[in-house]
Structure 1
């Protein structure tokens, strides 16, 4: 375990690496084909009102792809479900459900760099987590040749377990502010939420985009910002269009965004807290596989238990034999009855930010979505098949739902997080 030297990772509470070997450096996603992800679906029922389609897309942002599919079909986005979001700068294959849409309607669609193929019917609409996992094929180019020899040793560490951080893209790969927007929404500070999302620049953006964002932050002039921001920034422009017609209605402006995108802001704050709990555990010198009293244990069959002073020896044995993992429960609308050390840290951080469980309940009513707490393992484990080609590393591995391939790549590379985007 070594600390990260990068301020952005500290800002997102990804403050440690699980491995202490030198990183191989390099650049991820030089071209989209360097990052190939294939969703592994759960079985479909074969009949029902939902048409299941396999989507293969290159360089499409997830929400924009959904929006374009809905537009071409002439249906509400609410009739489209999916099991997991996928990276933009990638070649991604995943599944969507379409409520009461005919297969021939889908076959008639044509997109640049995206194929949508009907594959069957399902009794239920897909929702986040309805998948077995994801398979990845990743190429990291321009690695530091002298450090490539450590790749196999890093792969062994990943097999044993590394921090299961929410990755950079969870907070916005190009502009990682979703957790800050979510915190503002939870506090009911809707103007601040809009201002952060539209007005905060990111270092890699074009200068004209930075200038337009800064002007909106300084003046609040929605019409001027709508004129200045490029068409590709569709989410910002949707809010600005609403504000130009309904001056001062920032609460309504947020609702101009897709409901599932809005919920990702609030869950972004929960993700930030989870990352902070893992990093605090390292601060306290507690290994990821060493249970302490108050930890939640998740067993292979899904059963959960609580570690106590009395059962710690048994808990250690189950963890070492691979029967259980330590998890942390992210705060939500329902107060945690017996928070452990990691939960106490998350609750404390949230309280310092002016956010209580009542705030999650209020946000749930505003966004019409539940924000209950959820258990998540603090360890990511997978077996990597790693190869070296000249100055490039090829990684093949599979992850469970909700785990981030960039967390695996981050451990291998140990470079500037921008190199992961």
Structure 2
């Protein structure tokens, strides 16, 4: 284990690398074609009101793509469902369902760099439970040290054994890592401050108009004035400002006006940040990622969970060594009840430091019409990885289950400045 030197890694809780070599360096996504994602899913088709389509998009933010599709079809975004959010600067292929749409409707749709291919109908919309995983094909350019990828056997073995299952940069942002900060304010009921962070908090490498628009909101909180300054491409921020122009000071309403997936994203980013920080604390405290201690949480491939005791920890150690189960953390939510383990104690301490209680998750569940009950997340990610070469670049292929991040694997290989990995 070595500590990451990057300030943003420390801020987001991605404090450690499992691998101890210097890294290859390099950059991702020089072009969207460098990053390909293929959704793994098995949909049962039947007669029903939901049209199932394969969505292929290039260099489109997921929420903007869904909004564009809904607009092109003249329907509400609420009629479109999908299993997982895919990367923006990439070529991604995934399934979506559209309620009460026909193949003829789809055939008339024309959006640059978006294609929809109907593949059947279903009685039910696509949801998170339909996602089995994602396959990745990623090109790394500009390596500063290619020795590792010339003889990658040791690295591939380490990835197969498992590395920290950090929630990756995409959940929080790198240019403006604000998602969890917005979520923290929403959880506390500070909706006005949540909007201030969403609109006004600056980032790095911002163009002049964006800097002016964000600074204007921090100074004045005048939505009409800031609308004249923020670039059109900042459609999320602009939609919130438009709402506040028509409904002054209704900050909760502005948040509720966002699509449900976005509302959920902010609070789930808080859970993800707490997971990352807790996992880094476990590493810092010198506790194993592979063998359980008394009080550790366990998770099985079928989703069953347990917590070790002094009477069961030896048997749990045998089970984890055989790969029957793995260690996990319980992400806090409305049903979070801390146990005696060190991880749960650390989570409780983080919640206390941030002024958050489990009741707040329950309250916001009703307020935002979403669910934040808490969930288990494995502390290790493992995959079979292959490395090949095209000219001076490296091609990495692997697959991951739902909720795991390709950049978490790639940061172990590259150890580049995170700004080069988005």
What is residue 58 of structure 1 aligned with on the other side?
Answer: 58
Alignment of 1:117-128 (within 5 A): 117-128=117-128
What is residue 112 of structure 2 aligned with on the other side?
Answer: 112
Q: Which runs of 5+ in 1 are unaligned?
A: none
> How far is the alpha carbon of 1:408 from its aligned partner?
0.8
Cα distance in 1 between the residues matched to 2:94 and 2:340: 36
What is residue 83 of structure 2 aligned with on the other side?
Answer: 83
Q: Contact (CA 8 Å) 2:14, 2:277: kept in 1 or not?
A: yes
Cα distance in 2 between the residues matched to 1:150 and 1:223: 58
Cα distance in 2 between the residues matched to 1:339 and 1:213: 44
* Match status 1:137 vs 2:137: yes
> How far is the alpha carbon of 1:98 from its aligned partner?
0.9
Cα distance in 2 between the residues matched to 1:128 and 1:81: 9
> How far is the alpha carbon of 1:150 from its aligned partner?
5.9
Give the CA RMSD over aligned residues: 1.4
Alignment of 1:94-109 (within 5 A): 94-109=94-109
Cα distance in 2 between the residues matched to 1:129 and 1:419: 32
Cα distance in 1 between the residues matched to 2:156 and 2:193: 42
Alignment of 1:301-340 (within 5 A): 301-336=302-337, 338=339, 340=341
Listed one character per residue, the Cα deviations across residues 294-332 of structure 1 (whole Å, up to 9, x for unaligned) are 111112333222212222222112111111111111000
What is residue 74 of structure 2 aligned with on the other side?
Answer: 74
Q: Contact (CA 8 Å) 1:79, 1:99: kept in 2 or not?
A: yes
Cα distance in 2 between the residues matched to 1:52 and 1:107: 14
Q: Contact (CA 8 Å) 1:22, 1:147: kept in 2 or not?
A: no
With 114-123 and 133-142 compared, the bigger mean Cα shift is at 114-123
> How far is the alpha carbon of 1:6 from its aligned partner?
0.4
What is residue 169 of structure 1 aligned with on the other side?
Answer: 170
Cα distance in 2 between the residues matched to 1:199 and 1:59: 25
Alignment of 1:185-196 (within 5 A): 185-196=186-197
Dislocated runs of 4+, deviation >4 Å = none
> How far is the alpha carbon of 1:291 from its aligned partner?
0.7
Cα distance in 2 between the residues matched to 1:184 and 1:302: 31
Alignment of 1:383-394 (within 5 A): 383-394=384-395
> How far is the alpha carbon of 1:352 from its aligned partner?
1.4
Q: Which runs of 5+ in 2 are unaligned?
A: none
> How far is the alpha carbon of 1:390 from its aligned partner?
4.3
Cα distance in 1 between the residues matched to 2:37 and 2:223: 38
Alignment of 1:340-355 (within 5 A): 340-355=341-356
* Match status 1:15 vs 2:28: no
Listed one character per residue, the Cα deviations across residues 174-198 of structure 1 (whole Å, up to 9, x for unaligned) are 4221101000000000111001011
Listed one character per residue, the Cα deviations across residues 53-88 of structure 1 (whole Å, up to 9, x for unaligned) are 100000000000011111111111111111000000
Aligned length: 421
Cα distance in 2 between the residues matched to 1:340 and 1:215: 47
What is residue 376 of structure 1 aligned with on the other side?
Answer: 377
> How far is the alpha carbon of 1:154 from its aligned partner?
2.0
Cα distance in 1 between the residues matched to 2:381 and 2:133: 13
> Could you state the TM-score of these two structures normalised by the residue count of structure 2?
0.97
With 394-403 and 72-81 compared, the bigger mean Cα shift is at 72-81
